[in-house]
Amino acid sequence: MSLYPLRFVPRFVEKIWGGRKLQTLLGKALPQNAPVGESWELYDFPPGLVEAGSSWTSSVVAEGPLAGRSLHELLERFGPDLHGDVPLITTEAGPQFPLLVKYLDAREDLSLQVHPDAAYAAAHPGAHLKTEAWYILQNEPGARIYKGVRTGVTRDRFAAALADDSVMDLVEAVEVKPGECHFLPSGTLHALGAGILVAEVQTPSDTTFRVFDFNRVEPATGRPRRLHVREALECIRFEPADPPQPRRHVAGHFTTVSRLCACDFFTIEKVRFSEGIREKLPYDQPVVWMMLQGECELSVGGVDTPTLLRRGDTALLPAAMKTPILTARSDCVWLEITFGKGRR
């Protein structure tokens, strides 16, 4: 069977801080009357890590000859034809796909939080490294993210501020605008602010240590969400966040590629492609596309029906496809995510 560009069924996750922009701005069919904070576009988790049970929690193919198959099944069936020489993550349950790709809609501020680095994860069974990046799709006027501690803030001063609810005075607030990419390596204290819609690329970990949650309570329980102050204090880098990475641009007659972010685990580029152009895709490694604008068609030898991508769609392009051809039906923009060779 020929491999082809794979669209998956999104996994919608309700969050106390979620909203409805995933539907109104990206066209996703959300459950009614639910505060949906996340749309998991591409994911693969071992049994028990996200959901109870003995099955993998893994993206399900939405269309074409492989519809209904999970990403994990495809990794086992196709191996390097799907993932090329990109190393998979080794888990006790088997190899795991090395990225998690999402959209996030923050109607309210997310909790102030941190994710562990490799050293912490190695010393604490059950914790997993998490490095991520946010691409700003849309934001309300004046919306901000929180990113890193201010210069001179020490662990002791930070802990004291947690005790008297003044901790946000010690965190850098950054006003955002569409098109920005913010890199958040593990150990960076951060929170996505209210009124922001982002595309998120991250290592596949759900280990999050909440250190402050704006004194909110869960509607279902009437109690505050659990905090993880001790764990967070062990993980936070008490130094200013890294400055934005410089962008690199490569332009041709019909396309522009801008590098937004690069690290050991992934690289994110923004690609613009002109309407009416038809080109053979040059990849020999897997690539993820997140469509930001326009409409394009991807055709592959041996597969009768082309894959159509529109704003809000995400596709995994396998490493081995027969003569893949891109046709731009309109001016297109997408995020192109390639895989690093970081520690697994």
Q: What is the pLDDT of residues 166-202, one digit of tens each?
A: 999 999 999 999 999 999 999 999 999 999 999 999 9
Residue 344 confidence (pLDDT): 38
* Per-residue model confidence as pLDDT tens digits over 281-315: 988 999 999 999 999 999 999 999 999 999 999 99
With 0-12 CB in 10 A as exposed, 13-18 as middle and 19+ as buried, what is 234? middle
Q: Which two tokens stand for residue 330?
A: 């309109």
Residue 237 confidence (pLDDT): 95
Query: Fold identical between 6-235 and 248-339?
Result: yes
- Across 208-214, average pLDDT: 95
Q: H helices within the chain, ranges in order?
A: 21-24, 71-78, 80-83, 118-123, 155-163, 229-235
Active-site choice (11, 210, 247, 344):
210
In the annotation, is 210 catalytic? yes
Give the model's confidence band at 250: pLDDT under 50 very low, under 70 low, under 90 confident, else very high: confident
Q: Which two tokens stand for residue 134?
A: 């946010």
Residue 145 confidence (pLDDT): 98
CATH topology of domain 6-235: Jelly Rolls (2.60.120)
Is residue 99 within 8 A of residue 91, CB to CB? The reply is no
DSSP 168: G
- More confidently predicted of 52 and 144: 144
Residue 341 confidence (pLDDT): 63
- Sorted by where each begins, the domain ranges of the chain are 6-235, 248-339
Taking the C-alpha atoms of residue 226 and residue 218, their distance in angstroms, rounded to an integer, is 10
Smallest CA-to-CA distance from 298 within 275, 283, 278 is with 278
pLDDT of residue 316 exceeding 90: yes
Residue 298 confidence (pLDDT): 97
Check whether domain 248-339 has CATH 2.60.260.20, yes or no: no
Smallest CA-to-CA distance from 198 within 292, 267, 261, 135 is with 135
Taking the C-alpha atoms of residue 316 and residue 82, their distance in angstroms, rounded to an integer, is 9
* Per-residue model confidence as pLDDT tens digits over 18-58: 999 999 999 999 999 899 999 999 999 999 888 888 899 99
